[in-house]
Amino acid sequence: MFEIKKVNEPSTTEAVILVLLIVASISVSIIKWGAVPHLPIVFSILLLICYGLLKKISYQKIESGLVAGAGAGMGAVFLFFFIGMLIGSWMLSGTIPTMIYIGFSIITPAFFFAIVFTVVSIIGLSIGSSLTTVATVGVAFIGMASAMDLSLAITAGAIVSGAFFGDKMSPLSDTTNLASSIVGVNLFEHIRNMGWTTVPAFIISFIIFAVLSPSRMEIDNASINTFQEGLLATGSVHWYSLLPLVVLIAMTLAKVPALLALAATSISAIAVSYLHSASSPSDILNILYGGYVSATGVAEIDSLLTRGGMESMLFTVSLVLLALSMGGLLFTLGVIQTLLSKIESSLKKASSVITASALTAIGINVLIGEQYLSILLTGQAFQQQYEKVGLSNKNLSRVMEDAGTVVNPLVPWSVCGIFIASVLGVSTMEYLPFAFFCLLSPLLTIAFGYAGKTLTAINR
């Protein structure tokens, strides 16, 4: 989308007014009126179209920007469909039920939130995909928290924090590779440099989650035993049901493209399911599209295990396309470019450059809701500014991840925010206050910028 050519030169006042109107309409509609994000985004698109027409821009050019914006998200759209099929197939194979059962067996309720955060961080680091981690292991932990009557909001916050720790620090992560490559920094040098802000954010988050975790005395173990018995009664809990998880990790380590890895993992899950059930081809196709439907008769278990399928992703896909279409219009009409150029011209100190680049990454996440664009645009806009104040590019790549990668799941209408809320069944606004790692990362990167600590100068 960053390659879309602008056809308009709005004034700074015009750009600011348009942005404020869009942010206000989306925020009020979602937070105050409880509307789904689709409608305020549609209204924002209509606002931008009207603005373009008033500026005497042809409708064909406006439409081209709209279509180009939507086209930028087609890779994510196909990925979402395959994740939907993955969840359905993992339910059929017993992979998720088995993970939940094992989790009940080895994880103590004491320090539960801290353990969830740590385990999800390790798995996220291994897989390199925050959304895949949330959709698989995250779903399992949400089920465990539900059965133990623990806060789903805090559990979701721990899951999101761990998943995006992995997304940020894994050498297998596409965002990590993107952030390092766009500013020409060695991948592992980039990861090592992120440790200065990431490690403190991880430690502080772990301590907070440990403090928030309940004591063993607050948990009714009888309900856990009942839940385990119910899982066993489904006939889906087996050691071999974990094979699809092994396949996914192996293919990720082999750097197989995410879409192909998800497809292969889903196929392996279907094959594994035949070891304990005999679903017909018609049943399997229905599950891949419509999702798995549990019929144990135990309401809690059925609620947890009934999920997945391509159809479950349609809400997410439609919103992603609308949000990216709006982004395409903002670029076509020159709104984003005007705002970025205004920010660039007022930077003179290292601290102000770091703060401005962090706020830009956050602002793009909030305005457009797209993780990759926050990284791409911030990197392109601020490389020269970092050089002017004598800072190495690896400082910029760190800021791009601290304020770009991990902020996206905190935005209700963002790609990650929408997906996570739909998969975990916990709204973005509910888990946002407890996604401590995601909240701390941008704060620490700005604080270190003002303190002048952990910054690397350009080698002259």
User: Per residue in 153-186, pLDDT tens?
Assistant: 999 999 999 999 988 988 767 788 778 877 888 8
pLDDT of residue 374: 81
pLDDT of 219 > 90? The answer is: no
> 434 pLDDT band (50/70/90 cuts)?
very high
Q: Which of 191-200, 245-254, 265-274, 275-284 has the lowest mean pLDDT?
A: 245-254
User: Per residue in 32-68, pLDDT tens?
Assistant: 787 777 888 899 999 999 999 999 999 999 999 999 8
pLDDT of residue 3: 60
Task: Find out whether 442 and 365 touch, Cβ atoms under 8 Å.
Answer: no
* Distance of alpha carbon 89 from alpha carbon 110, whole angstroms: 32
pLDDT of residue 251: 84
In terms of Cβ atoms closer than 10 Å to its own Cβ (0-12, 13-18, 19+), residue 33 is exposed
pLDDT of residue 126: 65
What mean pLDDT is predicted for residues 284-297? 90
SS3 track for 430-453: HHHHHCHHHHHHHHHHHHHHHHCC
Residues 6 or more apart whose Cβ sits within 8 Å of residue 203: none
Higher pLDDT, 146 or 445: 445
pLDDT of residue 119: 86
What mean pLDDT is predicted for residues 230-255? 86
pLDDT exceeding 70 applies to what percent of the chain?
A: 93
Of 218, 191, 199, 198, the closest CA to residue 113 belongs to: 218
Neighbours of 294 (CB within 10 A): 17
Q: Which of 169-183, 287-301, 425-439 has the lowest mean pLDDT?
A: 169-183
User: What are the structural domain ranges in the chain?
Assistant: 75-311
pLDDT of residue 437: 96
pLDDT of residue 51: 96
> 333 pLDDT band (50/70/90 cuts)?
very high
pLDDT of residue 173: 76
pLDDT of residue 221: 60
pLDDT exceeding 90 applies to what percent of the chain?
A: 34
What mean pLDDT is predicted for residues 126-152? 82
Neighbours of 222 (CB within 10 A): 8
pLDDT of residue 345: 65
pLDDT of 303 > 90? The answer is: no
pLDDT of residue 31: 67
Q: Which residue has the tokens 């063993």?
A: 216
pLDDT of residue 453: 79
Provide the phi-psi class of 129: left if phi over 0, else alpha when psi is between -120 and 50, else beta.
Answer: beta
pLDDT of 449 > 80? The answer is: yes
Q: What is the pTM of this model?
A: 0.74
DSSP conformation class of 214? P
For the chain, the farthest-separated pair of C-alpha atoms sits apart, in whole angstroms, at: 70
* Distance of alpha carbon 387 from alpha carbon 383, whole angstroms: 6
Higher pLDDT, 216 or 423: 423
pLDDT of 98 > 80? The answer is: yes
Provide the phi-psi class of 369: left if phi over 0, else alpha when psi is between -120 and 50, else beta.
Answer: left
pLDDT of residue 165: 95
pLDDT of residue 1: 45
Higher pLDDT, 12 or 381: 12
* Helix pair 371-388, 335-344: axis angle to 10 deg: 30
Higher pLDDT, 243 or 73: 243
Mean pLDDT of the chain: 85
